[in-house]
């Protein structure tokens, strides 16, 4: 894996500014913790850290390399000249000149970095502006955090012709614990953001509409499939920030399903409420599953409701044959099973199929027996797919 470029924190034209007071220890600590919560502030945090340790402005480049655990081969570089930059970083295989040797990777260790880097190694980094002409690296490398989940190393490299102020290593030691904690918080939030990004990507790729509603019925989140359904306005729509149907009785059904889902959350068992929503276009109805979801801050009280929407008009090709094969249903029994699952009454289904009501009831009884279902609700789950699990 190629090593990512590390963008120097200060440009070559930067010169010390005598009139600008050096950051104090408290100022550095404060900006480190702020950067943990507001990543763009790492630019200023690293600049101030470099000035504090070096003893004067524009004397050092500061950067942080971190990985998800001490045994990881790949991690990230956190540094930038103008904005936050996180770039993939090969910690071991490529032999980056900045990384301390394995025996020096002890939590709290600070290494006086004086090593020669080959032209090949330098080709993978833009730190040449912080290196002497002979390719030697001068600076301090500190292992600021090492645990089972995180390895973080801070690099402070002297600019050409610059010298550390007296006590540089002691100043780095003085803020190391705060830097460690700030990095730990930052990486935790980074993991959370990454999980959220993956979750959004995953939800947007499935063809089931997914919505999260507050206790008042307001839409908090929805995936791409749900947004498309609401935009079409065929059966469901969004009025203000509320989930609505295109007929008053559908609105009443949605409200009742939300109330029922929240009520079950306060009892011993959590159940799923279902609602079939007809569509004006004549397409098959939408099937809605309502389940409570929880926020740990609320304790046992449900924070709201998740709604999963299946477009029953979008069954995969060959579904009827698969249903017949799995449960040994006859073609007529398959048609009855699907018709009942779509919300038709036995009488309406009999008229649609041109059969007597007695024949439909007899076939439905055999369908229930063969599929081990006990009624329409069970048959809906079977025919249209088990409701995907919702974490509570």
First to last CA, the chain: 40
The per-residue pLDDT for 179 is 92
pLDDT tens across 135-171, in order?
566 778 888 888 888 888 888 877 666 778 888 889 9
Contact present, 290 and 297 (Cβ < 8 Å): no
**Average pLDDT estimate for 14-27:** 70
Alpha carbon separation from 16 to 12, 19, 156, 253 (Å, rounded): 11, 9, 17, 70
Select the more confidently predicted residue: 154 or 102. Answer: 154
In this predicted structure, the answer to whether residue 115 has a pLDDT above a threshold of 70 is no
User: The domain 25-197: what is its CATH number?
Assistant: 3.30.450
The domains of the chain are located at 25-197, 206-311, 319-384
- Of 93, 13, 83, 76, the closest CA to residue 47 belongs to 83
Structural domain 206-311, CATH architecture: 2-Layer Sandwich (3.30)
- Decide if pLDDT at 65 tops 50: yes
pLDDT value for 197? 76
Is it the case that residue 81 has pLDDT exceeding 50? Answer: no
The backbone region for 291, taken as left when phi is positive above 0, alpha when psi lies in -120 to 50, beta otherwise, is beta
Place of tokens 């993956």: 198
> pLDDT confidence of 31, banded at 50, 70, 90?
very high
Does residue 119 or residue 243 have the better pLDDT? 243
| pLDDT, mean of residues 40-57 | 87
Q: Do domains 206-311 and 319-384 have the same CATH topology?
A: no
**Average pLDDT score, the chain:** 75
The Cα 287–Cα 289 span in angstroms is 7
Residue 30 has pLDDT above 90, yes or no: yes
- The residue whose two tokens read 């009280």 is 301
Angle, to 10 degrees, between the axis of helix 319-327 and the axis of helix 331-341? 110
Say what the pTM is. Answer: 0.53
More confident residue, 265 or 70: 70
What is the helix (H) or strand (E) element at residue 155, kind and residue range? Answer: strand 151-158
Burial class, 366, CB count within 10 angstroms (exposed 0-12 / middle 13-18 / buried 19+):
middle
Give the span between the Cα atoms of 72 and 66, in whole angstroms. Answer: 10
Range name among 55-59, 110-114, 195-199 with the lowest pLDDT average: 110-114
Q: How many residues does the chain have?
A: 392
Q: What is the pLDDT of residues 205-241, one digit of tens each?
A: 676 888 889 888 889 888 888 988 899 889 999 988 8
Contact 153, 76 (CB under 8 A): no
Q: Structurally, what CATH architecture does the domain formed by 319-384 represent? A: Orthogonal Bundle (1.10)
Q: What is the mean pLDDT of residues 326-342?
A: 85
Tell me what the mean pLDDT of segment 74-103 comes to.
Answer: 57
């Amino acid at each position: 894996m190629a090593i990512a470029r590390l963008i120097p924190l200060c440009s070559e034209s930067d010169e010390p500014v005598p009139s600008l007071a050096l950051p104090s220890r408290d100022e550095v600590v404060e900006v480190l913790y702020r950067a943990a919560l507001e990543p763009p502030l790492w630019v200023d945090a690293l600049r101030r850290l470099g000035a504090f340790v070096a003893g004067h402005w524009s004397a050092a480049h500061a950067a942080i390399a971190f990985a998800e655990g001490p045994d990881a081969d790949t991690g990230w570089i956190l540094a930038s000249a103008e904005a936050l930059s996180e770039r993939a970083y090969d910690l071991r295989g490529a032999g980056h000149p900045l990384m301390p040797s394995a025996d020096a990777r002890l939590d709290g260790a600070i290494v006086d970095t004086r090593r020669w880097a080959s032209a090949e190694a330098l080709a993978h980094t833009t730190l040449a502006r912080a290196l002497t002409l002979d390719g030697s690296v001068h600076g301090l490398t500190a292992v600021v955090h090492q645990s089972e989940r995180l390895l973080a190393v801070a690099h402070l490299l002297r600019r050409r012709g610059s010298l550390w102020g007296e006590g540089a290593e002691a100043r780095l030691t003085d803020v190391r614990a705060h830097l460690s904690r700030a990095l730990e918080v930052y990486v935790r939030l980074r993991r959370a953001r990454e999980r959220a990004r993956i979750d959004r990507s995953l939800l947007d790729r499935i063809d089931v509409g997914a919505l999260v509603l507050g206790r008042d019925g307001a839409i908090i989140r929805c995936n791409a499939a749900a947004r498309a359904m609401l935009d079409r306005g065929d059966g469901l729509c969004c009025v203000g920030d509320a989930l609505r149907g295109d007929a008053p009785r559908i609105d009443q059904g949605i409200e009742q399903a939300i109330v029922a889902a929240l009520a079950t959350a306060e009892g011993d068992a959590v159940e799923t409420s279902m609602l079939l929503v007809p569509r004006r276009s004549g397409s098959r109805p939408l099937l809605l599953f309502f389940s409570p979801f929880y926020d740990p801050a609320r304790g046992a009280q449900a924070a709201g409701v998740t709604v999963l929407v299946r477009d029953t008009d979008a069954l995969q090709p060959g579904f009827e044959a698969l249903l017949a094969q799995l449960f040994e249903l006859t073609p007529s029994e398959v048609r009855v099973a699907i018709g009942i699952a779509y919300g038709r009454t036995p009488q309406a289904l009999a008229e649609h199929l041109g059969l007597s009501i007695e024949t439909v009831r007899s076939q439905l009884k055999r369908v229930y027996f063969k599929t081990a279902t006990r009624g329409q609700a069970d048959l809906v789950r079977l025919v249209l797919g088990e409701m995907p699990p919702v974490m509570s």
